[in-house]
Chain A
Amino acid sequence: MTPSSIAVPTGPIAKGLITERRAFFRAAGAATLSATAVALMAGCESMAQGNMTAADVNILNVALGLEHEAINAYQLGAESGLLQQPVLNTAVAFQTHHKEHRDALIATIRKMGGMPVAEKPKAEYARALNAGSLRNQADVLKLAQRLERGAANAYLGVIPSFGDKGLAQVAARLAADETMHWTALTSAMGEMLPQKALTFGA
């Protein structure tokens, strides 16, 4: 990671993001499960019985790639200096959720005997997300809003493909978190919520 290649974070919260990130990498080999990871997998006892398929691992690894990108998107937003309070605090909270998703997915993939997909360098995420085009807080929020809606729909769209119903339920819970983020971001931007029901995952 090269934090110095992006605008240096200015506030204590933004610095905290980097500290948390470094702590994660130091602990990455420990394979310890966070409380969230344990809770998330609590309904998936069948995973320990070895009846999971490689296809399910593939789905979880795509989800993990999505969470890596989300964490980096919020990091880029926090380091941009474009977010003011209380939006910055909200972004940090959402990034923490995505880190908990990441940790849970890594633990689950390992428990299933798979190899978790690695995070890419931050510069790659910045390039792919066109982070250089972000000019103000509204731009950052708009990017986050797009990614959160896409993430919610992605989780909903893979549910029929899971072989294990417990994992399908986990995907639904992750989708609920992403929808919560999208709703908060949409409200923060002063946009109307959908007038019709069932706008996600149709």
Chain B
Amino acid sequence: MNSRRWLPAALALVPAFVDPALANGNAERGRDLYESRCISCHSLDANRIGPKHRGVYGRKAGSVPEFTYSPAVKSSSVVWNDQTLMRWLTNPQEVIPGQRMNFRVSQPQDRADIVAYLKKESGQ
């Protein structure tokens, strides 16, 4: 088999399993991105339009006390980690249909940096 023919196709499948941008997540840049992209609805320590984010990494979706989630998120079994957060920021509706956020971060590196920041602020 000619490896030149199948290798590009095989590489194209890799992001579906492990996003290479995750390995280079920059929490410091992620803090700036969080400040510009997420701050309209979220804070680390206050429930606002969205739930507070400190501790989100490793937490079950829909589990922040005193925040009113959509039924879809509340009943979800998703646990927030590298992969689920990356997918969530890519397209929330594909992770938990019926969720309310719908905000998308288009660039993989931006997503990875935001995830790195959330992970750091969650003490992980």
A contacts, CB < 8 Å to B: 54-55, 58-59, 61-62, 65-66, 69, 127-130, 146-147, 149-151, 153-154, 157-158, 160-161, 202
With A55-B102, A160-B104, A202-B110 in contact, do A128 and B46 touch (Cβ < 8 Å)? Answer: yes
Contact A158 B40 (CB under 8 A): no
B41 near A62 (CB under 8 angstroms)?
Answer: yes
Bound-complex Cα distance A130 to B52 (A): 14
Contact B102 A146 (CB under 8 A): no
Kindly identify which residue among B39, B105, B110 contacts A146, using a CB–CB cutoff of 8 Å: B39
Given A61-B100, A157-B104, A158-B103, is A127 in contact with B46 using a C-beta cutoff of 8 Å? yes
- Measured in the bound complex, the distance between the Cα atoms of B104 and A175 in whole Å is 15
Asked if residues A55 and B93 are in contact (CB atoms below 8 Å), the reply is yes
A-facing residues in B31-54 (Cβ within 8 Å): 35-41, 43, 46-49
Contacts of A157 in B (CB 8 A): 37, 103-105
Q: Is B70 located at the chain interface by the 8 A CB criterion?
A: yes
**Can you list 22 contacts pairing A with B, beta carbon distance less than 8 Å?**
A54-B98, A55-B93, A55-B102, A58-B100, A58-B102, A59-B100, A59-B102, A62-B41, A62-B102, A147-B39, A149-B39, A150-B36, A150-B41, A153-B40, A157-B37, A157-B104, A157-B105, A158-B102, A158-B103, A160-B104, A161-B92, A202-B107
Kindly list chain B residues whose C-beta atoms are within 8 Å of the C-beta of A54: 98
Within 8 A of A (CB), among B5-21: none
Task: Classify chain B's interface size.
Answer: 20 to 34
Q: Is B23 an interface residue (CB 8 A)?
A: no
In Å, the complex CA distance between A108 and B35 comes to 29
B residues sitting closer than 8 Å to A (CB atoms) are 35-41, 43, 46-49, 70, 91-93, 98-107, 110
Taking CB as reference atom, which chain A residue is nearest B103? A157
Residue of A nearest to B92 (CB): A161
Pairwise interchain contact B43-A128, C-beta atoms closer than 8 A: yes
Q: Which residues of A contact B98 (CB under 8 A)?
A: 54-55, 58
Q: In the assembled complex, how far is the CB of residue A147 from the closest CB belonging to chain B, in whole angstroms?
A: 6
Contact B48 A150 (CB under 8 A): no
The chain B residue with its CB closest to the CB of A147 is B40
